[in-house]
Homo-oligomer: A and B are copies of this chain.
Amino acid sequence: MRDVAKLAGVSHQTVSRVINEHPNVRAETRERVLAAMRSLNYRRNLAARTLATRESHTLGIVGFETTLFGPESMLYGIESAARAAGYLVSVATVRELSHRPVLEAVDRLVQHGVDGIIAIAPKPAVTTALTHAPGGMACVAVGGDGGQPGFPTVRVDNAAGARLATRHLLDLGHPTVHHVAGPLDWPEAQARVDGWRDTLYAAGAVVPPVTAGWWDAAAGYEQGRRLAEDPSVTAVFCANDRIALGVLRAMHESGRCVPDDVSVVGFDDMPDSGYFLPPLTTIHQDFAELGRRALALLLRNLGLPDGDAPEDVVVAPRLIPRISAVPPRR
Query: Is the CB–CB distance between B90 and A46 below 8 Å?
Result: no
Q: Which residues of B contact A45 (CB under 8 A)?
A: 51, 113
What separation, in Å, do the CA atoms of A245 and B92 have in the docked complex? 33
Option from B63, B67, B246, B279 in Cβ contact (under 8 Å) with A73: B67
Which of A167-175, A186-194, A213-221 is near enough to bind chain B? A213-221
A210 at the interface (CB under 8 A from B): no
Tell me the A70-93 residues at the B interface (CB within 8 Å).
Answer: 72-73, 75-76, 79-80, 83, 88-93
Task: Give the shortest distance, in Å, between A47 (CB) and chain B (any CB).
Answer: 4
Interface contact B91-A91, CB-CB below 8 Å: yes
Distance in angstroms from A38 CB to nearest chain B CB is 14
* Structural contact, B277 and A46, CB atoms closer than 8 A: no
A248 to B248, CA, bound (A): 14
Q: Which residue of B lies closest to A275 (CB)?
A: B217
Which residues of A in the span 145-169 have a Cβ within 8 Å of any Cβ on B? none
Contact indicator B44/A111 (Cβ below 8 Å): yes
A249 CA to B322 CA, complexed, in Å: 14
**Max chain B C-beta neighbours (<10 A), residue from A45, A56, A67:** A67
